[in-house]
Structure 1
Amino acid sequence: MTTRWLTPEEQRAWRAYNAASRLLEDVIDRQLQQEGGMPHLFYMVLANLSEAPDRRLRMTDLAETLKITRSRLTYAVTRLERDGLVRREDCRRDRRSSLAVLTDEGMAVLERTAPGHVETVRSALFDRLTPEQVGQLAEICTGIARGLQDEDPGAGAGDLPWRRRSSCSP
């Protein structure tokens, strides 16, 4: 098999993407740690639960939405549960599943933290783009995500994070 090396333009784009994504994640994480005492992942758990019917989602569905492993989600929910921001419930329809539920305290923390988070996202990302670039960014990211999720399972899509089992699972 011949290696398909990146062209100089692809290398430039790849490195720019890496730098921007790491810097953006760092800015967002710092803001959320300072204002909400939580990392970005925890905020995203709260935000997704706040948008769900009755502020509850099956853990498997939440992991898929967040594009993370179930074990990483379990860790995050356990920490949020300890802080009283989320609680777990058994799923009545599927005994193997559990639900993550946003508590009133979790909703209050989210409402208190959201304005600063939105301002950080706006100033760090969207204020630096033209309206045309915002549309292009959405189109590019959607295309990449769709392509990675729709791949043939033999090509890696079967190994998507939310489908992975931890090494401790039976």
Structure 2
Amino acid sequence: MVDPNTRAEQPERESSSDADLLPAELRSWMRLLSAAGAVEQQLRSRVKDAMGISHDEFLVLCLLADQPGSRLRMTRIAELLGRPKTRLTYQVACLQRAGLITKMSACGDRRGIEVTLTEKARHLLGESSRPLADAVSEAIARTAASLGNSPLRDILPGVPDTDRQDAQPQDPPG
């Protein structure tokens, strides 16, 4: 298991001609993937401790919680998470056994399956989401600081700019 206090290490770029193999956009994309992986790794154990479910199951609950009526078709969840449908089927079965979601045929399409949050899931998310959101903010700030990449801090509103002592968290636009 990765120590959540360990900063993500990035290899130093060499000054050889290989340094120009990747355009800035691809280097930024790779840094973003690395940062996301570091944040996800730090969040995994916290989700398990706080909610008793896997990180992937947590992502399903978050997607449902963010939808009107807290429901989505399984095919849409698979698309949004970029997961194979067979893997999602297993995760949904685990969540259903835990009493956190219900499954039913989609209206007008007997082949389609919709999943919906239960009251138990709403209660669990209500109790756990703020501490987990704070953990994400902390992990992003730590990862951004270790990368020396200020645009990464802009991903999440309210993440402090560790390069400036006078930086104040900003409210999200809107």
Pairs aligned (count) = 133
Q: 1 CA distance for matches of 2:61 and 2:32?
A: 27
CA contact (8 A) 1:43 1:110 kept: no
CA contact (8 A) 2:100 2:118 kept: yes
CA contact (8 A) 2:64 2:72 kept: yes
Name the structure with the higher helix share: 1
Shift of 1:111: 1.2
CA contact (8 A) 2:32 2:152 kept: no
Secondary structure in structure 1 of the residue aligned to 2:136: helix
Q: 2 CA distance for matches of 1:118 and 1:54?
A: 22
Secondary structure in structure 2 of the residue aligned to 1:74: helix
Q: 1:67 aligns with which of 67, 73, 82?
A: 82
Q: 1:85 aligns with which of 81, 94, 100?
A: 100
Specify the code of the residue in structure 2 equivalent to 1:7.
D
Gaps of 5+ in 2: 1-16, 157-174
Task: Go from structure 1 to structure 2 and tell me whether the alpha carbon gap of 1:66 and 1:16 turns closer, same or farther (over 3 Å shift).
Answer: closer
Q: 2:151 aligns with which of 133, 141, 150?
A: 133
CA contact (8 A) 1:90 1:98 kept: yes
Q: 2 CA distance for matches of 1:134 and 1:17?
A: 7
Specify the code of the residue in structure 2 equivalent to 1:115.
R
Secondary structure in structure 2 of the residue aligned to 1:87: strand
Secondary structure in structure 2 of the residue aligned to 1:54: helix
Gaps of 5+ in 1: 1-5, 139-170
Task: Go from structure 1 to structure 2 and tell me whether the alpha carbon gap of 1:19 and 1:60 turns closer, same or farther (over 3 Å shift).
Answer: closer
Specify the code of the residue in structure 2 equivalent to 1:133.
P
CA contact (8 A) 1:31 1:116 kept: no
Which residue does 2:138 correspond to in 1? Answer: 123
Task: Go from structure 1 to structure 2 and tell me whether the alpha carbon gap of 1:72 and 1:96 turns closer, same or farther (over 3 Å shift).
Answer: same
